[in-house]
Amino acid sequence: MQNKSKAIQDLYPDELAHCYGCGKNNPFGYQLKTYLVGDETIAHFTPDEKFTALPGSVYGGLVASLLDCHGTGSAAAFACVAENIDLENTETIPVRCVTASLKVDFKAPTPMGTELELIGKLRSIEGRKIWVDMTLSAKGIICATGEILAIKLKSNV
Ligand SMILES: CCCCCCCCCC(=O)SCCNC(=O)CCNC(=O)[C@H](O)C(C)(C)COP(=O)(O)OP(=O)(O)OC[C@H]1O[C@@H](n2cnc3c(N)ncnc32)[C@H](O)[C@@H]1OP(=O)(O)O
């Protein structure tokens, strides 16, 4: 697979780049960036205390949101690779993936103020269905795992 120096979300067309979790054109959102590195995807996010659950730990909704957006970004990246779309030499991608199903398992408290690392691995692609397995870790400790079923939209909305 290809390495990618540009985030997959930065290849979404401008009119579709307003997602609260990962849209580059949403100044209020998290602007999560997913990168394809080898045959995995990676993203980072450092939560601050506005995301508090119990003191010192992150609320689960943020964890789910990060997995949601990293999952769809990863699905789009893996779909592009499967379709021989050269991510290195394109300004926008024609693939549109949305979440149909997201499962999150919370394994350990997610710490505040620490860089979180999300890793995605392609499980399978079957027609328009793309399954991605993910981990969310802090300092090498897995805080949550996620699995997403993303669906490629039929048209480029
Ligand atoms: C550039 C793109 C911008 C991306 C922005 C970032 C996104 C960030 C992530 C999100 O938060 S996305 C927002 C949350 N997700 C949604 O709002 C999606 C709402 N659901 C839908 O719009 C539709 O249900 C969906 C597009 C997912 C599927 O509808 P379709 O009419 O295109 O497909 P269909 O219902 O025929 O399902 C296609 C296949 O997926 C399967 N499927 C659909 N939903 C499923 C589900 N929940 N669980 C298991 N399988 C499911 C379905 O059975 C079928 O399998 P088969 O092909 O084998 O028959």
In the chain, beta strands by DSSP E: 35-37, 40-45, 97-106, 116-126, 129-138, 141-152
Confidence class of residue 4 from pLDDT cuts 50, 70 and 90?
Answer: low
Distance of CA 152 from the midpoint of ligand 1 (Å)? 7
Confidence class of residue 3 from pLDDT cuts 50, 70 and 90?
Answer: very low
Please tell me the predicted confidence (pLDDT) of residue 156.
64
Q: How far apart are CA 132 and CA 146, in angstroms?
A: 8
Mean of the pLDDT values across residues 55-76? 98
Confidence class of residue 2 from pLDDT cuts 50, 70 and 90?
Answer: very low
- State both tokens at 60: 């689960």
Model confidence at 1: pLDDT above 60: no
Distance of CA 139 from the midpoint of ligand 1 (Å)? 33
CA 108 centroid distance within chain: 20
- State both tokens at 103: 């499962």
CATH of domain 8-152: 3.10.129.10
Q: What is the pLDDT of residues 82-124, one digit of tens each?
A: 999 988 889 999 999 999 999 999 999 999 999 999 999 999 9
Spans of all domains in the chain:
8-152
Q: State what percent of residues in the chain have pLDDT above 90.
A: 92
Q: What is the mean pLDDT of the chain?
A: 95
Q: What is the pLDDT of residues 124-139, one digit of tens each?
A: 999 999 999 999 999 9
- What residue's CA is closest to ligand 1, atom 8? 69
Mean of the pLDDT values across residues 31-60? 97
Mean of the pLDDT values across residues 64-75? 98
Please tell me the predicted confidence (pLDDT) of residue 35.
97
ipTM above 0.95 for this complex: yes
Distance of CA 99 from the midpoint of ligand 1 (Å)? 6
Indicate the top mutation candidate among 74, 103, 151, 152 to test ligand 1's pocket, ranked by most ligand atoms within 8 A of CB.
151
| Ligand 1 contacts CB of residue 16 (under 6 A) | yes
Model confidence at 72: pLDDT above 50: yes
